[in-house]
């Protein structure tokens, strides 16, 4: 049997649910927050939740470089920024610009020392097929929906995950919390996570040398810190925002 086609009613119900959820998460409180959410959703759909996960989970080979967490951190945040900028364009083929960026095999990934070919060798065909299928589907919905509804639709692709990733509403709070802790402050955090942070090890010298610069790069362009330094931050509780008093 073929795939069941969504009706207009299905789409409108999905959009209504997405708007309610986005409102609860604060995506309509600040300028451009919805576009950031849409950018995040696009990257998750076209790139992050695809065959690149197989490369990420696989051991390196004589041809494929290790795709470690820091490299993915740099890649994902850079692509999210590109998607955000593309969504601000009036070009009717703008989504295909994102496809070109995702599938460019020669571009050295910002903050990394390699290309899609280097990190995705052995999975390149699957990555290309996945990205093209997702972009074609998204382009169809972009034609069918109003500009605002399309942003909500794209945002829904990233819902169900935390709202404290790069570009999301709580990311600034995450960055401020991390810098505060890197200064040796936040005694509650160090008391609760001290053992875990000892196992993670000290922050790289490049991170602690200038904490204001680190703060600015984490906030605006994490990939500029470089994949090796971002590897220390990946899955690190230091990036959890401060607890909100009950």
What distance in Å separates the CA atoms of residue 109 and residue 98, rounded to the nearest whole number?
14
Within a domain: residue 16?
no
120 inside domain: yes
pLDDT of res. 27: 86
- The two structure tokens encoding residue 121: 């060798």
Give the separation between CA 182 and CA 161, rounded to whole angstroms: 26
Domain count, the chain: 2
| Inter-residue contact 27 to 169 (CB < 8 Å) | yes
pLDDT digits 0-9 by tens, 34-44: 999 999 999 99
Which residue, of 99, 132, 156, is where some domain finishes? 156
| 33, 74 contact by CB (below 8 A) | no
**Could you tell me which residues come within 8 angstroms of residue 19 by beta carbon, excluding any fewer than 6 positions away?**
152
User: Between 94-103 and 124-144, two packed helices, what is the crossing angle to 10 degrees?
Assistant: 170
> Do 39 and 141 belong together in one domain?
yes
Q: Quick one: 197 and 148 in the same domain?
A: no
pTM: 0.93
Check whether 171 has a pLDDT greater than 80: yes
Whether 36 is covered by a domain: the verdict is yes
Note whether 182 and 230 are same-domain residues.
yes
Nearest CA to 217 among 13, 46, 74? 74
pLDDT class of 161 with cuts at 50, 70, 90:
low
Query: Which of 156, 189, 216 is the C-terminal boundary of a domain?
Result: 156
Strand, helix or coil at 246? coil
Answer whether residue 1 shows pLDDT above 70.
no
Asked if 19 contacts 148 with a C-beta cutoff of 8 angstroms, the reply is no
In a domain, 18, yes or no: no
Whole domain around residue 115: which residue ranges? 27-156
- The pair of structure tokens assigned to 7 is 């009706």
Contact status, residue 34 vs residue 200, Cβ threshold 8 Å: no
Q: What is the pLDDT of residues 54-83, one digit of tens each?
A: 999 999 999 999 999 999 999 999 999 999
Tokens coding 69: 């967490």
Q: pLDDT at residue 186 above 90?
A: yes
Are 149 and 39 within one domain? yes
The pLDDT of residue 5 is: 60
Q: Are residues 44 and 107 in the same domain?
A: yes
Would you say residue 231 lies in a domain? yes
123 and 146 together in one domain: yes
Same domain? 117 vs 175: no
Token pair 């920024």 is at which residue? 81
| pLDDT, averaged across the chain | 92
Confidence band (pLDDT; 50, 70, 90) for 13?
Answer: confident
**End position of a domain, from candidates 156, 191, 213:** 156
User: Residue 81 domain-assigned?
Assistant: yes
Q: 35 and 141 share a domain? A: yes
* 7 domain-assigned: no
Are 164 and 26 spatial neighbours (Cβ–Cβ below 8 Å)? no
pLDDT in tens, 105-150: 999 999 999 999 999 999 999 999 999 999 999 999 999 999 999 9
Kindly state whether residues 197 and 112 are assigned to the same domain: no
Contact 149, 80 (CB under 8 A): no
Closest CA to 55 of 108, 166, 231, 63: 63
> Would you say residue 5 lies in a domain?
no
């Amino acid at each position: 049997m073929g795939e069941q086609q969504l009706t207009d009613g299905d789409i409108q119900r999905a959009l209504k649910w997405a708007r309610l959820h986005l409102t609860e998460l604060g995506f309509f409180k600040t300028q451009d927050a919805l576009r950031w959410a849409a950018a995040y959703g696009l990257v998750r759909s076209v790139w992050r939740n695809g065959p690149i996960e197989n490369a990420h989970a696989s051991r390196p080979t004589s041809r494929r470089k290790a795709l470690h967490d820091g490299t993915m951190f740099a890649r994902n945040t850079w692509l999210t920024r590109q998607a955000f900028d593309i969504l601000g364009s009036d070009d009717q083929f703008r989504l295909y610009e994102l496809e070109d960026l995702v599938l460019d095999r020669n571009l050295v990934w910002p903050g990394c020392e390699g290309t899609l070919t280097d990190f995705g060798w052995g999975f390149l065909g699957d990555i290309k097929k996945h990205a093209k299928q997702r972009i074609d589907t998204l382009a169809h919905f972009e034609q069918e929906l109003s500009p605002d509804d399309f942003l909500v639709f794209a945002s829904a692709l990233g819902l169900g995950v935390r709202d404290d990733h790069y570009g999301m509403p709580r990311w600034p709070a995450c960055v401020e919390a991390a810098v505060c802790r890197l200064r040796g402050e936040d005694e509650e955090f160090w008391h609760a996570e001290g053992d875990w942070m000892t196992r993670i090890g000290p922050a790289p010298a490049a991170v602690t040398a200038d904490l204001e610069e680190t703060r600015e790069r984490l906030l605006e362009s994490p990939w500029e810190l470089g994949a090796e330094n971002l590897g220390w931050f990946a899955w690190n509780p230091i990036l959890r925002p401060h607890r909100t008093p009950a």
